[in-house]
Amino acid sequence: MRRALITGASGFAGGHLAARLAASGQWEVIGLSARPNVPSPHLAHHLVCDLLNGELVRRTITHWRPDVIFHLAAVSYVPRSFQDPVGTIANNMIGQVHVLEAARTLDPPPIVLVVSSSDAYGLVHPQELPVTEAQPFRPLSPYGVSKAGQDLLGFQYYATYGVPVVRVRPFTHIGPGQSDRFSISGFARQIAEAELGMAPPVLLVGDLEVERDLLDVRDVVRAYELLAERRFAGHVFNVASGRSWRLYDVLQHLLGMTRVSLRIEQDPARLRPTDVRVLYGDASALRAATGWYPEIALERTLADLLDYWRRSLRRQRMDG
């Protein structure tokens, strides 16, 4: 049995990854979170560990000696990064330095899967689509800058110290359990609230004309598990579907799953200062290395996401 340590274990992708690894029966899963959370049944141990505390990170990783560190912890909400660029960059980059510094003191050092983001690519011209791993970084947000920095730090620790770092650049992933701060999950929550009579039949949206490469989070974490091998050290992989969906069309899919009639209104607060109109990636390197491809259709993902919010809001209403 291999021992996995997941940073950001109580987050969206971290929770799904913990569930996947535990279900396989091949992993002992240790979870790190910045704050106390409800213990997960998928974790053998769930620890509070602030990644900005370098000494605590070193002691924790030295004590548990994981075979693989899945480094998912990060400030991930793009609008927040514009409001607090210093905090976003410091949290994401310094936290990762502490993880990598701790990993390189072990013998042998654990595999470290560094989760970057398609936001690191930033400005992508139409003729550059689909985006490959050779695409230059032109980030358009402090969050994108921080993810580009995490990616580069991962390569530097591999090249300089021999830490077996595998870098991944996931494109937009959605699914049950995602915060409603993110657009598609926010659509689903608003629809569920209207169905339950908890909110007026008005759906607030941002820019619906942007197009994004959309993946189910469960497909994404499956890629993470497949890449947790020493033979992939030093390599970087896009995790992408290879096509894009317009947010307007995604919203129409969700609206087709309800009988409630909602009025759509654009909310200026949901618009970004700058954005790429169309973005989708090329995951042929990942497919060639592991055989991975997306298995979960967007329609199922949206249905599961909407059902997640229906269940969650019903429980809230009963508990309230």
Give the pLDDT confidence of 161-200 residue by residue, as tens digits. 999 999 999 999 999 999 999 999 999 999 999 999 999 9
What stretch(es) of the chain map to CATH 3.40.50.720? 2-174+214-239
pLDDT at 220: 98
DSSP 8-state assignment for residue 10:
T
Q: Residues 298-316: pLDDT tens digits?
A: 999 999 999 999 999 999 8
- The answer to whether the beta carbons of residues 210 and 278 sit under 8 Å apart is yes
Q: Residues 240-260: pLDDT tens digits?
A: 999 999 999 999 999 999 989
CATH architecture for the domain at 2-174+214-239: 3-Layer(aba) Sandwich (3.40)
pLDDT at 316: 85
The mean pLDDT value for 210-232 works out to 98
Residue 294, preceding peptide bond in cis (omega within 30° of 0):
no
What gap in Å lies between CA 57 and CA 207, rounded to an integer?
Answer: 40
pLDDT at 205: 95
Q: Is the pLDDT reported for residue 320 higher than 70?
A: no
Q: Residues 137-140: contacts with CB within 8 Å, 24+ apart? A: 140/274, 140/275, 140/276
Give the global pTM. 0.96
- What does the angle CA 297 – CA 259 – CA 302 come to, to the nearest 5 degrees? 20
The mean pLDDT value for 212-228 works out to 98
Q: Is the pLDDT reported for residue 318 higher than 90?
A: no
Q: Where are the alpha helices (DSSP H) in the chain?
A: 12-24, 54-64, 78-83, 85-89, 95-104, 142-161, 183-195, 217-226, 247-255, 284-290, 298-319
Superfamily of domain 183-211+243-278+296-319: UDP-galactose 4-epimerase, domain 1 (3.90.25.10)
Q: Is the pLDDT reported for residue 142 higher than 70?
A: yes
Nearest Cα to Cα of residue 117 among 60, 182, 193 = 182
Average pLDDT, the chain: 95
Q: Is the pLDDT reported for residue 319 higher than 90?
A: no
Edge to edge, the sheet with strand 278-279 lists 245-246, 211-212, 278-279
What stretch(es) of the chain map to CATH 3.90.25.10? 183-211+243-278+296-319
Nearest Cα to Cα of residue 149 among 175, 120, 177 = 120
Residue with tokens 């400005």: 123
Q: Residues 21-78: pLDDT tens digits?
A: 999 999 999 999 988 777 788 999 999 999 999 999 999 999 999 999 999 999 988 8
For residues 35 and 289, the model is more confident at 289
DSSP string, 35-81: S--PPPTT-SEEEE--TT-HHHHHHHHHHH--SEEEE------HHHH
Residue 130, preceding peptide bond in cis (omega within 30° of 0):
yes
The mean pLDDT value for 137-150 works out to 96
Q: Which tokens hold the place of 236?
A: 């970087």
Share of the chain above pLDDT 90, in %: 91
pLDDT at 227: 98
What gap in Å lies between CA 45 and CA 31, rounded to an integer?
Answer: 6
What gap in Å lies between CA 69 and CA 2, rounded to an integer?
Answer: 11
Nearest Cα to Cα of residue 40 among 48, 27, 31 = 31
pLDDT at 36: 79
The mean pLDDT value for 266-293 works out to 90
